[in-house]
Amino acid sequence: MSGAKERLQLQEKFEIMPETLGGQFRKDFPPYLDGLVRSEPHHYVTTPEFAKNAEDIYNLAPRPDDIYVSTFPKCGTTWVQELVWMVVNQCDFEKSKKEQLSIRSPFLEKANSPLVDKIMELICYWNLMDWLRPFIRKAISFVLGDCLRDLEQIDQMAGPRVIKSHLPLYLLNPSVLNTSKVVYVARNPKDVIVSYYHYHRLLEFHHYTGNLEAFADYFMTDRVYSAPFFPHLLDAWNKRHHPNLHFVFYEDLKKDLRGEIQKIAKFLGKTLTEDQLVKLTEHLRFDNFAKNETVNCEIGKEIGLMNNSGNFIRKGKTGDWKNHFSPELNERIDKWMQTNLEGTDLRFITELEQQD
């Protein structure tokens, strides 16, 4: 990126996952025309489009005043992203009301993603007439042109930059953790599965057509976008004592939002006044947050990127999985969790502990 430094070579190599090109998978994820790819040696699952740009993202140079908000998808990323941006920017509520969060705090792996091309691919899938394509392309560019930053724009942003990413740490520039600060958010995987299922049904990019039980199976067998879950989480957990990494549980944010804001502010070297703390806590209260048009992505419904039956900012509850899992499915997930947590000291906060 900036400067004349020697380009870093990403060691991960991406190969197509043959099972994602046909059969039941293609029926359940119809927009995935080119399937998904998996990396070696870490087995990260993503799209062929991202794989083409992975090394460019890997070469984004971190700065000492950068803050990365890192999570597996549906672990409270947008919530904490807004929290961190507000803390870093002295609770500038006026700017936060006027400017989309995606501009104030860019989504790293979407920076070089050919979003318009993917939408064109979906148009082709739905058999729309060829002559519509240039008009739709112009419309999407007009609407989204100021809502996303490309990698060059992120590189040239004035600091401090608050950068959102769902990438595991090994796909970020290797000097990130020793140079910048990272706020990592973890969540109980049972709630992640439920939230990610609804997310895949909401976005036309995924357009998942199967049921929750099948989705849980895809999730546990590492056949969904951004999988696998536990290696992503455990990599950060094992680095939680690094002075530049702050590890926070979604469940702790739900239990004591004010207290967790104070902890994050301290980690970032910021001090909030009592008035700022009270206002920020109210600003981030989930029912208020879900109505915030600069973070809730409702614009996606207006341009056909999301269906109208759900919301990007959904319930935000902990323990909602109890309303979705059958006893049999819950038992399978418990065994999967037990297998992946064996030999680690990571444990998830229970709903009972939250209420104490």
Nearest to 269 by CA among 244, 237, 241: 244
- Assess whether the previous peptide bond of 168 is cis (omega < 30° from 0): no
> Containing H/E element for 40?
strand 37-40
Interval 154-181 mean pLDDT: 95
Is residue 248 included in any domain, yes or no?
yes
Q: What pLDDT, in 10s, does the model give residues 316-349? A: 567 778 887 999 999 999 999 999 999 999 999 7
Number of domain units in the chain: 1
Distances (CA, A) of 187 to 325, 348, 349: 17, 8, 9
CA 266 to chain centre: 24
Is a pLDDT exceeding 50 seen at residue 144?
no
| Longest distance between any two alpha carbons in the chain, whole Å | 61
pLDDT band at 198 (very low <50, low <70, confident <90, very high): confident
Tell me whether residue 189 is in a domain.
Answer: yes
Tell me how far apart the alpha carbons of residues 141 and 150 are, in angstroms, rounded to a whole number: 13
Q: Are strands 67-71 and 162-165 parallel, antiparallel or unpaired?
A: parallel
The reported pTM is 0.84
Q: Report the relative pairing of strands 181-186 and 245-249 from DSSP bridges.
A: parallel
Place of tokens 């399978």: 332
201 neighbors 308 (Cβ within 8 angstroms): no
* Mean pLDDT of the residues in the chain: 83
Rounded to whole angstroms, the Cα distance separating 162 from 107 reads 9
Rounded to an integer, what distance in angstroms lies between the CA atom of residue 50 and that of residue 57?
9
* 161 against 124, higher pLDDT: 161
* Per-residue pLDDT at 291 exceeds 90: no
For residue 226, count CB atoms less than 10 angstroms from its CB and return exposed for 0-12, middle for 13-18, buried for 19 or more.
buried
The pLDDT-based confidence of 161 (bands split at 50, 70, 90) is: very high
Rounded to the nearest 10 degrees, what angle do helices 189-202 and 229-237 cross at?
Answer: 130
If 0-12 CB within 10 Å is exposed, 13-18 middle and 19+ buried, where does residue 133 land? middle
How far is Cα 120 from Cα 133, in angstroms, rounded to an integer? 7
- pLDDT tens-digit readout, 199-250: 888 766 677 899 999 999 999 999 999 999 999 999 999 999 999 999 999 9
Number of neighbouring beta carbons within 10 Å of residue 249: 20
Task: Catalogue the E-assigned strands of 31-73.
Answer: 37-40, 45-46, 67-71
Residue 56: is it exposed, middle or buried by C-beta count within 10 angstroms (0-12/13-18/19+)? middle
Residue 62 per-residue DSSP state: P
How many residues make up the chain in this entry?
356
Q: Locate 300 and state its tokens.
A: 């996606």
Domain for residue 143, yes or no?
no
**So which residues are the catalytic ones?**
166
The residue ranking higher by pLDDT, 119 or 66, is 66
| DSSP state letter for 164 | E
CA 76/CA 183 separation, integer angstroms: 12
161 domain-assigned: yes
- Average pLDDT for 247-273: 96
Give backbone dihedrals phi and psi of 112, rounded to 5 degrees, phi first. -110, 15
120 within some domain: no
Between CA 148 and CA 120 the distance in angstroms is 18
Give the domain range for residue 229.
Answer: 64-111+149-341
The per-residue pLDDT for range 333-342, each reduced to its tens digit, is 999 999 999 9
Asked, for residue 45, whether it belongs to a domain, the answer is: no
The answer to whether residue 127 is domain-embedded is no
Residues 279-297: what's their mean pLDDT?
71
The CATH number assigned to the domain holding 305 equals: 3.40.50.300
Confirm whether 124 is domain-assigned. no
